[in-house]
């Protein structure tokens, strides 16, 4: 891509980042797919494991900037190392305190499971 500011051609990366995390985070996992042989929607019944906590730091602007800074310097902070994802599901936020890890941490409070086939069933 040509940079209008630098007036040279540069490699770029396009990405999405979360600017502000909600107090309560609800995730919906797509457990249905299209069978291209029959063109019918099928339910994915494979095992789906997730943890009791989820740290969203790596998906935020601050987390991405911290990771880039660590990559450039060749080091990472202890906080960055602890910011791995430990699960997906319905999560509730913890108390936040001045940009610490708790600002990015969610605890699992519930899981909704579908019973039935792709075309019908109950949650």
pLDDT tens, 35-73? 999 999 999 999 989 999 999 999 999 999 888 888 887
Q: Count of CB atoms within 10 A of residue 89's CB?
A: 20
91 phi/psi in degrees, rounded to 5? -125, 155
Q: Note the pLDDT of residue 75.
A: 52
pTM: 0.61
- C-alpha 29/C-alpha 115 separation (Å) is 14
Point out the least confidently predicted range of 14-28, 31-45, 50-64, 99-113: 99-113
- C-alpha 89/C-alpha 46 separation (Å) is 16
Which tops the pLDDT comparison, 33 or 15? 33
SS3 content of the chain, % helix, strand, coil (to 5): 20, 30, 50
Q: 70, 76 in Cβ contact below 8 A?
A: yes
What are the structural domain ranges in the chain?
A: 17-122
- Label residue 81 by pLDDT band (50, 70, 90): very low
Q: Share the mean pLDDT of the chain.
A: 80
């Amino acid at each position: 891509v040509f940079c209008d500011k630098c007036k040279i051609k540069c490699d770029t990366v396009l990405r999405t980042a979360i600017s502000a995390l909600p107090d309560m985070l609800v995730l919906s996992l797509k457990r249905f797919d299209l069978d291209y042989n029959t063109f019918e929607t099928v339910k994915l019944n494979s095992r789906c494991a997730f943890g009791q906590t989820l740290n969203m730091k790596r998906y935020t602007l601050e987390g991405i900037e911290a990771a880039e800074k660590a990559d450039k310097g060749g080091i990472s902070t202890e906080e960055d190392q602890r910011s791995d994802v430990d699960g997906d599901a319905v999560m509730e936020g913890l108390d936040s305190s001045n940009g610490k890890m708790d600002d990015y941490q969610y605890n699992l409070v519930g899981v909704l499971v579908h019973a039935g086939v792709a075309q019908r069933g109950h949650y």
